[in-house]
Amino acid sequence: MKNYISKIKELLKFLFLSKWVFLLPQKKTFLLVDGLYNPFLKYFDKKNFNIIYRRGESINIRVILKCVLNFNISSLNYYRQYIKFASPKIIFTAFDYHPIFYRLSRLSSAKTFMLQKGHRSKCDSIMYDKNLINKSQKKDNFVDYIFLYNKFTSDFYRKYIKGEYLNTGSFENNFDKIKLSKQKKEILYVSNFKIDKNKKLLSNCENDEKLIYNLHKLAVSQKIKFNVLPRQKGKKESLDEYIFFKNLLKTNFSFIEKKESSSSYKIIITYKYVFCSYSTLGREFLSKGGRVGFLFFKSKNNPSIHFRFGSLEKLPKKGYFWTTDVKFNLNELKRVFNFVIKVNDKIWKIKSQPTANKTLQYDYDNKLFRSIVSKELKKKNN
């Protein structure tokens, strides 16, 4: 009884903070779990989606009442009742770290499809989440189709979730191809800029000032234009970041304004040479054949140490186009810079592609995903 009262209190708190929806869900082909991000609209019409919001944006009162009448107001029962009303053929999510999603395939005849959202590493909190990494729950965890970045991420999830694993890379990255003839022979630096409330750089930016200053200096010496892709989007949001680069570099650089979060994919493919300390965007660009230099100069105790290129995949700390050191190393910076800038396209492909395939797969236009969705819809319609 106490547990039930506690759940009632949690529900009331959630209700007061959410938008109330009084109409029952209509029957639609697709159900999206977590409305924060819907990359599936690239291929499917918005009108064919119902959405279960899980961050307090809205809540369906009729579904809640059904749960109350069942004397079961758990999150799982809310999903169960919502699915019954919506009657989807396929349930999507673009997030791989919601444990409740792993239980949905057992609740209906709908097929579940899960994407990976962001690169995984050993210092990623997801890999230590006890709600996720619980082998005792594996018997209850099942997702029909699991689309992940690479084999190494699949090996991790296989310990905890049953289902069919497909290594197809980053879903949104797969939307576009690189057109080499249209690339500007300029440098794009992908920023990891982060500051605290006192406007001091966070520890993940250790040695980035030396890295950026000397990378810019090399670019100027080679008469190559230097561009900065900020971490923040919007002019107001990226003001502190712009001031940081302006104070550091003074002149001879271009600071790009990101107008929307997804624009980074459109921006990066237009540049010939990309450099970063660590970046999922950099890995994605590499997977499409782009030239990227990964320059990671962090001390052993840095909290981002496992974000270095190839950490999860157990690659060596140095390679043709990447380097890792516990302190800033100008010689290593020059070595990686020269390889990225000077080798011809044939050599770049030979030297980079095997490593790129290990860290992130690439399936242009998500052909495998679309073919499986099409196959499952045909089965449902027969």
pLDDT tens sequence across 155-178 = 989 988 999 999 999 999 999 999
Rounded average pLDDT over 255-265: 79
Condensed to tens digits (0 to 9), the pLDDT of residues 207-218 reads: 999 999 999 999
- Asked if residue 278 lies in contact with residue 309, where contact means CB atoms within 8 angstroms, the answer is yes
SS3 295: strand
Instruction: Walk me through the domains of the chain, giving residue ranges and CATH numbers.
Output: 2-169+364-381 (3.40.50), 175-359 (3.40.50.2000)
Measured distance CA(276)–CA(119) in Å, rounded: 15
Rounded average pLDDT over 84-107: 95
| Residue 273: strand pairing partners | 187, 291
Rounded average pLDDT over 343-351: 96
Does residue 63 carry a pLDDT above 70?
Answer: yes
- Provide the pLDDT for residue 257: 86
315 CB-side CA count, 13 A? 26
pTM of the model: 0.89
- Provide the pLDDT for residue 18: 80
Measured distance CA(188)–CA(200) in Å, rounded: 24
Closest CA to 164 of 318, 376, 14, 312: 376
Residues 6+ apart with CB under 8 A from 268: 188, 190, 229, 274, 281, 285, 290
Rounded average pLDDT over 265-269: 93
- Token code pair at residue 323: 């380097």
SS3 117: coil
Condensed to tens digits (0 to 9), the pLDDT of residues 7-40 reads: 666 666 666 778 889 999 999 999 999 999 999 9
b/e map 166-194, b = 16+ CB within 10 Å: bbbbbbbbbbeebeeeeeeebbbbbbbbb
Rounded average pLDDT over 69-78: 91
Does residue 262 carry a pLDDT above 60?
Answer: no
Condensed to tens digits (0 to 9), the pLDDT of residues 319-340 reads: 999 999 999 999 999 999 999 9
- Provide the pLDDT for residue 259: 76
C-alpha distances (whole Å) from 191 to each of 175, 208, 232, 369 are: 23, 9, 9, 31
Does residue 1 carry a pLDDT above 60?
Answer: no
Measured distance CA(170)–CA(258) in Å, rounded: 20
- Identify the burial level of 151 via C-beta atoms within 10 angstroms of its C-beta, where 0-12 means exposed, 13-18 middle and 19 or more buried: middle
- Asked if residue 170 lies in contact with residue 119, where contact means CB atoms within 8 angstroms, the answer is no
Does residue 83 carry a pLDDT above 90?
Answer: yes
Condensed to tens digits (0 to 9), the pLDDT of residues 272-325 reads: 999 999 999 999 999 999 999 999 999 999 988 889 999 989 999 999 999 999
Does residue 101 carry a pLDDT above 70?
Answer: yes
- Provide the pLDDT for residue 73: 82
- Token code pair at residue 139: 């018997």
C-alpha distances (whole Å) from 262 to each of 76, 92, 137, 229, 233 are: 32, 20, 35, 13, 10
Condensed to tens digits (0 to 9), the pLDDT of residues 213-233 reads: 999 999 999 999 999 999 988
Closest CA to 119 of 88, 98, 150: 150
Computed over every residue of the chain, the mean pLDDT equals 91
Position 125 confidence tier, pLDDT thresholds 50, 70, 90: low
Does residue 136 carry a pLDDT above 70?
Answer: no
